[in-house]
Amino acid sequence: MKGLLKYSRGRFAAFGYAFRGAYDLLRNHAPSRIHLAALVAMIAIAWGLDFPLWKWVAVLICAGMVLAAEALNTAVEYVVDLVSPEYNILAGKAKDVAAGAVLFTAVSSGLIALMLVYDALWGVV
């Protein structure tokens, strides 16, 4: 019983750390706020166009994908700044590739959003 209590406390603490990380991401990393604003706009559009369930699922998957990529990109930036504050070609590549991951998810999500809206308005996709 004591072990279970200790384990549960540890799990709750881990949730706390995750929320702290999410807060840090949104507070200190401007691009993540832009993506969050795009998500809010997309939710408003989806609501207005009365998206069916499968389209909401697509929107949520894309949103999770972009925000998770942003979080990992920011984590890479923090670690690179920690271990290589001075110029290093590999440090730069690590940041560039991590940023590329965000680009992939943002572009595919943007295209999916366009297709969903196009389909809702003209129904030919």
Ligand X SMILES: Nc1ncnc2c1ncn2[C@@H]1O[C@H](COP(=O)(O)OP(=O)(O)OP(=O)(O)O)[C@@H](O)[C@H]1O
Task: Specify the length of the chain in residues.
Answer: 125
Residue nearest to ligand X (CB): 92
Where on the chain is the footprint of ligand X (CB under 6 A)?
29, 31, 77, 84, 87-88, 91-92, 95-96, 99
Beta carbon of residue 99, minimum distance to ligand X (angstroms, whole number)? 6
Task: Write down the catalytic residue from 63, 70, 73, 117.
Answer: 70
Beta carbon of residue 112, minimum distance to ligand X (angstroms, whole number)? 23
SS3 (DSSP) at 125: coil
**Which H or E run includes 100?**
helix 89-122
CB-count burial class (<10 Å; 0-12, 13-18, 19+) for 38: middle
77 counts as catalytic:
no
CB 21 within 8 A of CB 71: yes
Q: Which is nearer to ligand X, 3 or 85 (CB)?
A: 85
Beta carbon of residue 65, minimum distance to ligand X (angstroms, whole number)? 17
Q: Which is nearer to ligand X, 89 or 124 (CB)?
A: 89
Other C-beta atoms closer than 10 Å to the C-beta of 21 total 13
User: Catalytic residue numbers?
Assistant: 70
